């Protein structure tokens, strides 16, 4: 993308570079603006991005990988646009018996979150990533994997300088109770035999209000918290390193190696919350999670266990107050 350098480029220059007319350039610029990219247009100067963009580059990302991580991966792809990075890798499950596939995209047109929600995916500022991994164990033994993946993401963020990150069961990443990142796991295979998991991560790095206008819940982006620019390729390398290490640790020890970190990061530990289930609501106090990743909820002296599935958690409103916190 020629405009990625943050400098002004005239319509004539752009047209010459990509082999099209100035009219076609104008239409392309208009399309980019509609997708959420902020572009300045100045008569006599041309077009310039509001902020310089570091485009994702496979070779640069690989340069940030630890040798053991690089050896564990079979392929790393970067796409300009995909409907969904998760969907893209799921289509290759039968072709990738050994796993170790990574896919990133600058933009998603049909990104997905938990419970069938749409993941808003504007171009170039955020992070849309999926990792395909092949497990020798069955899907039934992977309960708690999503929590382990959320801890891996928090580790990568801390390595990048973010100290205020927390987690919300089962796998949302928060800063000041606003959503910074989300994780979506999708499985293919038998419950008792070898299976394949695609770990999808959506992370807000540089998010503009116009590009995120469709989101109906509190959100935040990494650059706003750190108050500096973030190298997207370097962050991608760190995230892949931590996810691969966490997956290998999970294969060896399940969720147990991650429980202490989860307890330290749990945003709602000891707080009263409301669980929204398909058949109603349940109120109780969070008592952490068990070794399988199930949420422990205390009610009238009894502790009940809840697995993620179609469950959503939010803070309970205090008596007499109106709780306007959207479901995350």
Query: Which pLDDT belongs to residue 323?
Result: 41
- For the stretch 51-106, pLDDT in tens is 667 789 999 999 999 999 999 999 999 998 888 999 999 988 876 667 899 999 98
β-strands 165-168, 75-79 pairing:
unpaired
CA gap 17, 26 in Å, rounded: 14
Residue 177 is among the residues annotated as catalytic for this protein: no
Query: What's the pLDDT at 327?
Result: 30
Phi, psi of 256 (to 5 degrees): -50, -45
Does residue 114 have an active-site annotation? yes
Rounded CA separation 179/203 (Å): 9
User: In sequence order, what are the beta bridge partners of 114?
Assistant: none
- pLDDT beneath 70, residues of the chain: 1-6, 25, 28, 31-37, 49-52, 95-97, 111-124, 208-217, 309-310, 317-328
Cα-flanking dihedrals φ and ψ of residue 83, to 5°? -60, -45
What is the structure's pLDDT at 325?
A: 37
Give the pLDDT score at 65.
Answer: 97
Catalytic residue among 107, 179, 206, 232: 179
Q: Cα(223)–Cα(51) distance, rounded to whole angstroms?
A: 12
Q: What is the pTM of this model?
A: 0.81
68 is catalytic: no
- The one catalytic residue in 107, 155, 238, 314 is 314
Judge contact between 270 and 286, C-beta under 8 A. yes
Closest Cα partner for 236 from 147, 93, 126?
126
User: Active-site residue among 48, 107, 112, 114?
Assistant: 114
- The pLDDT value recorded for residue 117 is 60
């Amino acid at each position: 993308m020629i405009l990625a350098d943050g400098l002004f480029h005239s319509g004539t220059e752009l047209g010459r570079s990509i082999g099209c007319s100035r009219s076609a350039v104008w239409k392309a610029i208009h399309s980019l603006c509609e997708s959420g990219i902020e572009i300045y247009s100045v008569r006599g100067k041309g077009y310039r991005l509001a902020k310089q963009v570091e485009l994702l580059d496979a070779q640069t990302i690989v340069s940030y990988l630890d040798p053991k991580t690089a050896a564990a991966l079979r392929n790393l792809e970067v796409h300009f646009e995909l409907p969904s990075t998760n969907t893209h890798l799921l289509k290759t499950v039968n072709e990738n018996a050994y796993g170790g596939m990574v896919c990133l995209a600058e933009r998603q047109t049909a990104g997905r979150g938990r419970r069938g929600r749409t993941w808003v995916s504007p171009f170039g500022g955020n992070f849309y990533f999926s990792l395909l991994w092949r497990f020798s164990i069955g899907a039934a033994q992977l309960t708690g994997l999503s929590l382990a993946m959320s801890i891996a993401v928090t580790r990568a963020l801390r390595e990048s300088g973010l100290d205020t990150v927390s987690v919300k069961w089962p796998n949302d990443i928060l800063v000041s109770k606003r959503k910074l990142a989300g994780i979506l796991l999708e499985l293919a295979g038998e419950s008792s035999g070898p299976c394949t998991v695609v770990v999808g991560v959506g992370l807000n790095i540089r998010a503009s209000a116009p590009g995120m206008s469709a989101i109906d819940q509190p959100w935040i982006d990494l650059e706003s918290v750190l108050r500096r620019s973030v190298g997207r390729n370097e962050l991608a390398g760190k995230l892949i390193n931590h996810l691969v290490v966490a997956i290998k640790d999970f294969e060896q020890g399940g969720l147990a190696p991650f429980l202490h970190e989860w307890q330290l990061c749990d945003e709602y530990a000891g707080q009263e919350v409301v669980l929204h289930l398909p058949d109603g609501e349940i109120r109780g106090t969070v008592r952490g999670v068990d070794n399988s990743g199930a949420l422990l909820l205390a009610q009238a002296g009894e502790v009940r266990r809840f697995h993620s599935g179609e469950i959503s958690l939010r803070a309970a409103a205090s008596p007499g107050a109106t709780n306007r916190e959207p479901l995350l």
